[in-house]
Each structure stands twice: as C-alpha cells, then as structure tokens.
Structure 1
C-alpha cells in the first residue's frame, strides 16, 4: 500500500490497525495567550495528558492518529513527536491554514495563492520550521455558508500542493455547509477526489448534501461524535446508518475531533462527557452493530478507508 509520513518518520500503511482521522492533542485559538485569565500553559502536563489518552486508545487497537491542526491554531509538531514516542501511537500532522474568520492572519491573507502554495510545499519538503518534521496531510477550511476569497486561495493552494506532493487533503466545514462547493473546487483544480476527506459532514442530516459529495468520489467525515454543540449524536448515527445502508461504507470515516488540551479558555458553555475517542468504541460502533451494520462496513470506517485514502 505504500508509506505515510508521521511526525516520527515514514511508516508502512499496512503496519497500522485502526487510524483515527480527526483528533487533536492541543488547540489554541488565535490570541489565546493575550487573555490574562487563560489557564497557565504547562507543557509537561499537556504532554502527560496526551500520552495517557493515546495509551488508552492503544488498548482499543488505535495505533495511528491524524491531528489536522492548522498552523495558527497551536500546532506543535515537536510536542506531537514526543507524545508519539512515549505513547507508541503514530501521529500525522498537517500543513495548511484555518478558515478566515478564525485565523485572521493578515500577513498571510495578503499573499497570492501561489505564495501560499510555496509555504505548504516548503513544509512538505523541508519540514515545519527548524524541526525537520514533515506533515503527512494538507488541511483546508471554509466558513459558514460561504467561501471567502482568502479561503478559496487556500483551497486552491491545497489542491496544487496535493497534486505536486501526492499527500491527501482533509477539510473543515462550518456546521455542515460548503462541503459540495469544496469538492467542486478541488475537482476543478484536478485533484483526485479519493484523496479528499470533507470534514464535519455529520452536522448536516440532509442526504442530498452527503450524496453530492460522495457521488463525486470524495470521502465524508462523521468526525465530531461526542460533541453535541454542533449536532445530536442520535442524528449523526441516523444519518450515518442511512448512508451505510445505501452502500457508502467505503467513503466514510468516523472520529471525534476531540481536543486533549485547550490553550486558553474552554470554548463551549458545557463539558461533553462523551467527547473522547473511546466513545467510538464503547458506544458508536456497538450501536451500529446493534442496528445490523456488518463488521466489514464498520472496519471500513476506522481501518480500511484511512489506509486506502493514504495509499492512493
């Protein structure tokens, strides 16, 4: 199947068992460090907490995790590498910028898409900063119900970076909008859509929305299980069940988009006790089995689809 780039080096894809495609070790929204009431940043505690989480996931068969944190949201490849080495779970990090409303990097927003492409390729080829750690995935993002001019440039840069480097794309969508538009933009730029995961589709329960992505050949991410701020899990399960019954199990991944540590204040009004990847194995997968979903379809969601995605 080939190799995939992790923060600790290239690894044979077939060496992996379960791959979680969208989880985070830490997130820090732009400007978090300017808030005098932010919790104190203690790196050792963040690393220890992440190691504990990944070692727990390892008991479920997880041996690889994708952390698609964008450059401006607290991405720390050296922290990822230390957590990976200590936990025994491989981690894949990303290159790419966030949606405009959340990133607000005005120096970057003034660049052309070609200059943004150069940034992505520099990281893919030479590594992130002075670390030498290379990303294995490209992140792209759009806002709610629209794609800004800046976001379109980032998507175009991601498209060309994927075509040049061969590494795949994973996206962020706001509240399950603009996924089909992302697909059409990637398609117009000549991207192999089998190398694209359209993220957070589980916030949209309209099957026409899902099919407009799936029927083009892209994958959809049901990747926020456990966080009911964006959607109820029973609606996620119902939509996912419907798509599996329709025969789309080879184009769906499941994950939680969980955050092990926030830099700054916790962004939601309430804690979500199920917002942890073990919820997939303790609740989501057992419920799918109870509904009659076949074992091979379930293995597609957490094992075979990620492997195919990275091997194309």
Structure 2
C-alpha cells in the first residue's frame, strides 16, 4: 500500500478520510518577537486551542490536515506532533521556503538552486533539525503576478526534490496569479502535474484561469474560505460551484488557510475574518454548495478522494 508521511510517522493513504489540505496551527512572520506589543505566546494555551479545534474537526470526519507552513514562518513540527497525538488527527508538514517578499531571507537568497535543493533533501531524508520528523510535502511560493529570480530558484529546487523523493508539491500564490506558470516550471523539471496542488486560486474568479491549470492536470486549491480580506466567500462559492458543475470536481481541493495562533499581531481586520476557521467548511461552505446543487458525492470527492489520489 502507498503511504503518506505525517509528523507522527507513516500511514497508509487508504486510512485517510476527509483531508483539509491547507491549514496552519501556528504562524509567525519574521521579527514578530521584536514587537513589544505582540501578544504573549503561552504554549499550553495554544496547544489546548489547537487540540480542541482538531478534535472538533474529527467529529466532522476529518482525520488529517496539511500544515504547509514555510520553514521561515515559525514552522514547529514537534508542536504539530504533540497536537496530533493529543487530538488523534494526522498532520502533514512541509519543507520549503516562502515567497521572497514575505520570507526575506538574505542568507538563503544568496544560495544557488543546488544548495537550496540540498536543504530540502536533507529535511526530506533525515528530518527537520534534530527532531527526526520528516516532511510529507514540499512547499513552493510566488509573488503577485511575478516569479522573482529567488522564487524561481526555490521552485526549481522544490521540483528537483519532488522528482527525487516522490513527494507532492503544494503552493502559495498571491491573489490567484502565476498558477499556470508554476505548473509549467514543475513539469519542466520532471514533476507530474497531478502531484501539484496550486494554492489560493480562490482569489481569482476567472474560470479560464482555473481551467487552464486543471487542463495541465494539476489540482486547484479553493483554500482561503472564511478570509474575506483576500476575496469574498460568495465569489469563491460561485466560482467553485461553476467549476464543479463544469465537471472538474476531481481536481479541486477546499480548505481555509486558517491560523489557529498568530505569533505576533493579527495582520487582518477582525471583521474580514469572522468565519476564518476550518469548521466553517462544514457549517458554511458545504451547506452553501449543497444549496447550489452540489452533491455529497462531489463533496466527498473533493474532501477525500482527491487528496488520496494527490498523495498517491
């Protein structure tokens, strides 16, 4: 049986039930700890909140989440493992750097593609730091309407690492741009399109953008539900419903890109994120899709069948 790597070890892909493909337990932008007005990080409180959240998701049939936190945004695989053990929900973590504007790592930007590849493969083969926890997915990211030279190096390294390891790639896009360019680059370096999930496409309401990516064979992520800072949920629902009725349910993923705990100040206005919680998938998104004629069979395909095929 084919297996997937989680932060608590490998499991058979057939064990997956519902999978949320893009959620975060913790995020900390570089320098958050230098702000004296940042809320204090109290691990016990954050741990309880994360465990409670995943336990409630489990009651809706979710038994796995993917936390594709980039390496420089506070990724904490040991915390993920603790949450997973206490909640009973599997968690997949990633290797990979963020987009240049947000990551802003001068020491890494100086490296060659081959040196970045060595970093990715070191984590994939030996584990993250001294934890022994190995990533089960590779993260890649690009900026708004552009792939910078540094981002191209990281995407190329991600492609090479994926081709060598067999791991899938999950991406960040800014406002639903550069998705097709990402897929083309991955293909150029030997990664099959069906091993690629192009993230945050739900900020783009042009159906031809999504269809172009899916015609290449990749998966499209509608994975920021509940965050109206980037796009309105009614537009996400309308676009997603259109694609499902066009016959693309077998290439779509849904999630929220929620952050259980921000280390530092919340970067979004409170009124734009009132539903920004993965439970919203079940108490908001799915009921809205059902009202627009989407069947439970199609929803099961998106939440269960597609992640299994993607990881396979």
2: CA distance, partners of 1:247 / 1:26: 35
Does residue 166 (structure 1) correspond to residue 166 (structure 2)? The answer is yes
**1:281 is paired with a residue of what secondary structure?**
helix
Flag structure 1 segments of 5+ consecutive residues without an equivalent: none
**1:138 is paired with a residue of what secondary structure?**
strand
**1:234 is paired with a residue of what secondary structure?**
helix
Does residue 155 (structure 1) correspond to residue 155 (structure 2)? The answer is yes
1: CA distance, partners of 2:291 / 2:177: 30
The match for 2:289 is: 288
Q: How many residues align?
A: 311
> How far off is 1:282 after superposition?
1.1
The match for 2:17 is: 17
1: CA distance, partners of 2:269 / 2:289: 29
2: CA distance, partners of 1:73 / 1:169: 18
Does residue 91 (structure 1) correspond to residue 87 (structure 2)? The answer is no
1:81-122 Cα deviation digits (max 9, x unpaired): 000000100100000000000001100000001110000000
> How far off is 1:295 after superposition?
2.1
1: CA distance, partners of 2:267 / 2:294: 35
1: CA distance, partners of 2:234 / 2:311: 30
> How far off is 1:269 after superposition?
2.0
The match for 1:274 is: 275
> How far off is 1:294 after superposition?
2.2
> How far off is 1:270 after superposition?
2.0
What pairs with 1:174-213 in structure 2 (closer than 5 Å)?
174-213=174-213
The match for 1:300 is: 301
What pairs with 1:50-199 in structure 2 (closer than 5 Å)?
50-199=50-199
2: CA distance, partners of 1:241 / 1:57: 23
The match for 1:244 is: 244
1: CA distance, partners of 2:283 / 2:49: 21
1:154-183 Cα deviation digits (max 9, x unpaired): 000000100000010000000111111111
The match for 1:34 is: 34
> How far off is 1:42 after superposition?
1.1
2: CA distance, partners of 1:159 / 1:296: 33
2: CA distance, partners of 1:34 / 1:277: 29
**1:187 is paired with a residue of what secondary structure?**
helix
**2:91 is paired with a residue of what secondary structure?**
strand
The match for 2:219 is: 219
1: CA distance, partners of 2:191 / 2:14: 24
2: CA distance, partners of 1:55 / 1:27: 20
1: CA distance, partners of 2:5 / 2:106: 30
> How far off is 1:287 after superposition?
1.6
**2:19 is paired with a residue of what secondary structure?**
strand
**2:123 is paired with a residue of what secondary structure?**
helix
Please identify runs of 4+ aligned residues in structure 1 that moved more than 4 A. none
1:8-41 Cα deviation digits (max 9, x unpaired): 0000111121011000000000111111111111
Flag structure 2 segments of 5+ consecutive residues without an equivalent: none
**1:225 is paired with a residue of what secondary structure?**
coil
> How far off is 1:144 after superposition?
0.7
2: CA distance, partners of 1:9 / 1:286: 34
